[in-house]
Structure formats: structure tokens, C-alpha cells
Chain A
Amino acid sequence: MALDGLAAGLIGISASIAIGATAIAAAVAEKSIGTAAIGALVEKEESFGKGLILTVIPETLVIFGLVVAILLINLIGAH
């Protein structure tokens, strides 16, 4: 069954929300962690590795968003 234009459009919007919202969420989380990590780094330079790890942890959110977005976009192609 072919999707009509409206359905395809809504799926497209959903995909963009999936990736956009997760990107914002990751950014908000990374902002706080990054600030704290820089603070720790000033005190103790050796904590760079741990600081980096903590800062990039929320990035996975965007990857989830991307996977969901790809699966959604795939729906348009599949029908």
C-alpha cells in the first residue's frame, strides 16, 4: 500500500523530531557535564580521560534518535 503524501510527510516530521529532540537533550546534558569536567580538569589535569568520557556519554542519545529516524524514513520507502 502506497503511503499518501500527508502520511509520508508526517513520518518525515517524526523522523526529524526524533533526531532533533535527542540532539537537544544530549546538548543540554553535555553542557552541564562539560562545565563540571572543565572545572575538574583545572584542579587535576590527569582527569582528562575521565572528563572526556563523562562528557560524551549523552551523545548516545543522538545515535538512538538517528536509528529511530532511519527506521521511520525506511517506512516511507517500504510502503
Chain B
Amino acid sequence: MLKTQEMSKVFMVIPKDRFEKTVDTLYKLKVFHIIEHTKTDEYDIGSPILGTDILSDIQVRIRSIASQLKINLQEDIQDPLYSGFVNEIPTQIIKLHNEVSDIIKDIKKCEDKKRSLNQELKVLETLDLFTDSAEIFKKSSHIVYRFGMIHDLDEDALILENEHELKTIEGQPHILIFAKKKDEKHLDEILGSYKFKSFEIEKYASDKRKLIRKELEQNLSQTNEDILQCKNQLVLLSKMWKRKLQTFNTIVSEKLEKYNLPLSMGITKHSYFIKAYVPTDILYKVKHQLFIATDRKIIFKIENLHHSDNVPVKLKNPAVVNSFEFFLKLFALPKYGEIDPTMFIFLSFPFFFGFILGDAGYGIISFLIFWFLKKKMPQYAKFFNILLLSSISSIIFGYIFGEFFGGADVFGLFTLTVYFNRELQMIALLVIAIAMGFIHVNWGLIVGFTNELRSHGLKKAIYTKGSWWLLQISVTLIALSYLGMIKAPVTIGYALMAISAVMLFLGEGIIGIIEIPGIFTNFLSYGRLMAVGASSVGLAVVINQLTSQVMTGSISGYIIGTLIFILGHTINLLLGCMGSFLHSLRLHYIEFFTKFYHGGGTEYKPFGTKLEG
């Protein structure tokens, strides 16, 4: 809490004959954040273990199969039933990959066939619209015919030397045209200029047209059946292989990660060497385990941390509070050694959220919705924990403000006591909101002071953070002197202000001077705690008034009134939750964090935990 996990830097030298055992142990321990070795003139980086290319190929095949069989590989599954087949993985996967590829090819072939059959049937269907006679298509040495699709044909442009007959159907792009054999060339030229798409209908120009159609239909239904059968085969394979494929994927990914580790290591003639960060509290435990695994054949040395080291950051907060780490990951992780503000956000975020939403009815409904969503989407449990706590805070503030869906009346059952009326006491609410801002911003300055004290000493802390307090005091003195509330001359206030400006300049440079008005706008910015809340109450009151006006005693009035009530409050609840969330977050990110937070830390990602699905 408040401090990130303390880390130690270790340097290990691993003899080549102990490499496998060491890597296995490193992977199993899952605590070593590896520092990538950069190639130097003396020490090159290691090469991947032999066989990595084959494993990579197998991994690609596994992913391809999983995508075809719609199997989710995201989960880290290792079924003991299949874990024993490690040596058979390549043969089994290649066999399965070929099998799946064949089925996919069959499906594609069938689909192509289906498309062509459908096209033929469509041509036949259209031809039937023109004529069902076979007589007119009988072979003739004098007459030719064309049947096909054409767009925007200008019939007047169709001038042939001899007589011709054009058949069209309104709304259809198809035409059937008969002409003299002598005009055939000219006809094709004219039709070609209109991008005519001709269909071969020789085979349909017989009495067997119905028979052909029947055959086509039978063929189509057989093809559909074939496609279905292939798809069923895929489903069956998917069911049979799901756990096995997931287990194989886990094994292969693990092996690949281990095989690629030499790429992060330096190499000498007989050994590898590697640097890593390990949480200090388990340092000796993991050292012991590594020694046991390698018969003390490795060198394990603890190095001093330097200021320039990019030490990874592991946040450590108790349960419930750690849900709020989400906000830091969204923004930027603290730098190593910097104060971890998760606990502060845990205290103030739900407070601000509740203060803005401030309605017991909305709080209860949002709590139920978030609770349901948390059950449905366990992967986002931490995010919903934040919202659940915020909903509880809304219920508490709703009780204080005497608001239940915008009014004090709880469905006619009882009436809430209004301890503070947000609608009528807006000015007081604004003053409270700005006072909260004053406390929050100064809280940030205190944290900032501590941070600076730790990292740069007392002098720097006073110049960069203490100067802001002096500035606030000076402005207060000036205001009180002007208002005649104190007898001190106003020059004292101005003198203090000048001193604070000099201190700021010494601490933060010209930026500090430019930002002087910023702190007061920061206080005012907390006015949103009142403003957003008041707008939400205003909307709720309007919805309630509309509802009561519509509910005049008739059944339709009650139905419409209920609809307005439900719809109106649903929209207001959505807007309220979104507004409360974003505005509370903003107050933390902009007004609070800027007083102390640097951020930019690297996330602690120990070797063995990044399993790509």
C-alpha cells in the first residue's frame, strides 16, 4: 500500500549444460522480470534453441486449426489427460491440420458448385419467363438467337439490315433476341457495346428443359447436404479436439517462450548470462530453489540498483483496494519508488461518484446492474468492483440528499428525510464542492511534497510544493485584507505572493510561474461535483413531473406515465453514471494527479506469465 513492490536486480551466469534446468525453474517460479541483453563487442546475444522453427510452425498450425474449428485458445489450459503426448504433438497437429484443410477445401469446392448450380437455375427460371417453348430454339441455318443480361439498351440503336425480334420483360435486365444469320456479326457488335453478358442456352433449347431443371435441383440439394456433412465433421472435430488442442497450445507456447529465452541473454563460450528483476521479499527463496535445481552450478549475484535503471513496477494493494489499480493502468503506472496512489483513489473516487449521482434509487438499480454484469463478465470483475462501491456511495449520498428517483417519496411507502436539498441549496452545494476541491488538491500537494522529499530532498520539496501553500496563504490574506476581515495591510499578502512566485521559479522554472492561476481554477473545477449532480436531479424532477401530469386516472394515462417514468429514469441513470464516472475520473487525473504524480513506470511482467493465445 502506497509503496510499490521493492525489487532487486540479479545477475546470473548459467553453464550451458544447466541451461534447460535453469530455464525450467525460472519459468516455474514466474517471478523473474528479464532485462533484455543488448549485443556488445564482447558478448553477443544467444540464439534460440534448436527446434524453435518447428515449434513456431506447429503453433501457427494450432492457431489456424483453432480458428477453423472455432476453438478459443485464450485460456491457459493444461489437461493432464493430454499432457503426456508431448512428443506426438507435431505429428498429431500436422495430421489434424491436413484433415481440417481437406474438409475446408471440400466445403469451398461444394460452395463453388452450389453457386454455379444456382446460376444455371436462375438462367432457366428467367428463360421460362420469356418462353416455355423449345420449338423456337430449334437449329436453323437462317436464324440466330442471343439470350443474356444487358443494361440500358437503347432499342432504337438496334438497327440491323434484316428483320429481327427483340423480347424483353419489364423490370428484368434480360433480353432474348432473334435475328437473321447474315446479321450475326453486326448484332454481336451492337450488343458488345452495351456490355451484353450472354448465357449459353443450347442445352435448354430442347424438350428436356424440365428434366434438366429437376437434375439441377437434385444436384443442388445433394451439394447442400455435402456442405452440411463437412460442417458437421468440423463440429465433431472441434468437440473431440477442444481440450487437447488447448493443452497442446499451452505446452507449445510454454516451450517456445523457453526456447526463445536465449535471445534475451548474453552468451560466452561455455555459458549464458542474464539479468533480471525479482521482488526483494522472495529473493532468497528463489535463489535457493534455483540452486537446488542446478546443483549450485550457477552464479547468482545481487546487483545495486542505479538511478537510471528502468525497474519494473508491481503494485501491491489489499483486496478491494486493488480494483482501483485499473485507473493507474489506464493512465500510467507510477515510476519505481514513487508513491502508489491507488489507496487515495479508493478513498476519493467512490466519494465523488456518489456525491454527483447522489440518488438512492439510482444507486440501488446501478448496484444490481453492475452486480449482474460482474457475474456475467468475470474478466472485468475489478472494474465492476469500482462501480459497485461507487453505487453504494450513491445510495448513502441519496439518503443524505433525500433523493429516490429524484424525489423524497419512496413509492408511497415512506418519505426520506432531506438532510440537504440539492435543488434549493445550490450555492451551499457549490461551496461544499469547491471546499472538497481545496482539500483534494492540497492532499495531492502533501503527497507531492512527500514524493519530492524522498527523491530530491527538503529544499526541492519546499520550492516545488511548499510554494503552492504559501501562494494560497498569500491570496487568502489579500482577500481578507480587501474585505476588511483582518487588520493586516494588504502589502503583506502581496509580499508573500512574490516570495511564493520566486520559490516556484526556483523549483519548477518558468512553467511554475505560468501555472500560478492554475491552482485556483483547479479548486473551481470541483464545482462540477455540484453542477453535474444538479443537472441529474433537475432531469429526474422533470421526469417525475411529466409522469404525474400524464397519470390522470385513465388506463392509457397510467401506461404512458409508467413508460415515461421507466424510459426517462433509465436514460437519466445512464447519463448520470457516465457523467459521474468521467467527471470523478477527470478530477483525479487532472486536478489531483498533476500535484504529485509522475508516472511512466514499466509494468512488472515476469518470465512465464505471458501466454499468448
Contacts and interface: CB of A to CB of B under 8 A. Distances in A.
B586 A56 contact: yes
Interface in A18-71: 48-50, 52-53, 56-57, 59-60, 62-64, 66-67, 70
B586 A53 contact: yes
Interface residues of B, number: 17
Given A59-B528, A64-B524, A66-B527, A52 B586 contact: yes
B330 interface: yes
Contacts, number: 41
A49 B332 contact: yes
A62 B331 CA distance: 24
B528 A52 contact: no
B427 A63 contact: no
Interface string B426-463: 11001000000000000000000000000000000000
Contacts of A50: 331-332
A49 B589 contact: yes
Nearest to B594: A53
B232 interface: no
A46 to B, nearest CB: 9
Contacts of A67: 430, 524, 527
B585 A52 contact: yes
B521 interface: yes
B263 interface: no
B29 interface: no
B589 A70 contact: no
Nearest to B526: A63
Contacts of B331: 49-50, 53
Contacts of A59: 528, 586
B527 A63 contact: yes
B590 A48 contact: no
Interface string B584-599: 0110011000000000
A60, A64, A74, most chain B CB atoms within 10 A: A60
A52 B589 contact: yes
Nearest to B527: A63
B205 interface: no
Contact of A66 (B330, B531, B582, B590): B531
Interface string B566-592: 000000000000000010011001100
A1 to B, nearest CB: 21
Contacts of B527: 63, 66-67
Interface residues of A, number: 16
Contacts of B585: 52
Interface in B513-562: 521, 524-525, 527-528, 531
B590 A57 contact: yes
Contact residues of A: prevailing secondary structure: helix
Nearest to B327: A49
Contact residues of B: prevailing secondary structure: helix
A67 B331 CA distance: 29
Contacts of B524: 60, 63-64, 67
A60 B594 CA distance: 15
Contacts of B531: 62-63, 66
Contacts of A62: 531
B525 A60 contact: yes
Contact of B590 (A56, A63, A70): A56
B590 to A, nearest CB: 6
Nearest to B434: A67
Interface string B493-522: 000000000000000000000000000010
Interface string B311-332: 0000000000000000000111
B525 A53 contact: no
A49, A57, A62, most chain B CB atoms within 10 A: A49
A62 B530 CA distance: 13
B589 A63 contact: no
Contacts of B590: 53, 56-57
B525 A63 contact: yes
B435 to A, nearest CB: 14
B330 A60 contact: no
A22 to B, nearest CB: 12
B500 to A, nearest CB: 23
Given A59-B586, A70-B430, A49 B330 contact: yes
A54 B241 CA distance: 49
Contacts of B528: 59, 63
A60 B522 CA distance: 9
A10 to B, nearest CB: 21
Given A49-B332, A63-B527, A63-B531, A70 B427 contact: yes
A70 B118 CA distance: 72
A30 B331 CA distance: 19
B265 to A, nearest CB: 28
Contacts of A66: 527, 531
B515 to A, nearest CB: 14
B71 to A, nearest CB: 26
A48 B525 contact: no
B20 to A, nearest CB: 35
A71 to B, nearest CB: 9
B252 to A, nearest CB: 27
B605 to A, nearest CB: 14
Contacts of B582: 52, 56
A60 B521 contact: yes
Contact of A74 (B330, B427, B586): B427
21 contacts: A49-B330, A49-B589, A50-B331, A52-B586, A56-B586, A57-B590, A59-B528, A60-B521, A63-B524, A63-B525, A63-B527, A63-B528, A63-B531, A64-B521, A66-B531, A67-B430, A67-B524, A67-B527, A70-B426, A70-B430, A74-B427
Interface of A: 48-50, 52-53, 56-57, 59-60, 62-64, 66-67, 70, 74
Smallest CB-CB A-B distances: 3 pairs: A49-B331, A49-B330, A63-B527
Given A53-B331, A60-B525, 18 more contacts: A49-B331, A49-B589, A50-B331, A52-B585, A53-B586, A56-B582, A56-B586, A56-B590, A57-B590, A60-B524, A63-B524, A63-B525, A63-B527, A64-B524, A66-B531, A67-B527, A70-B427, A70-B430
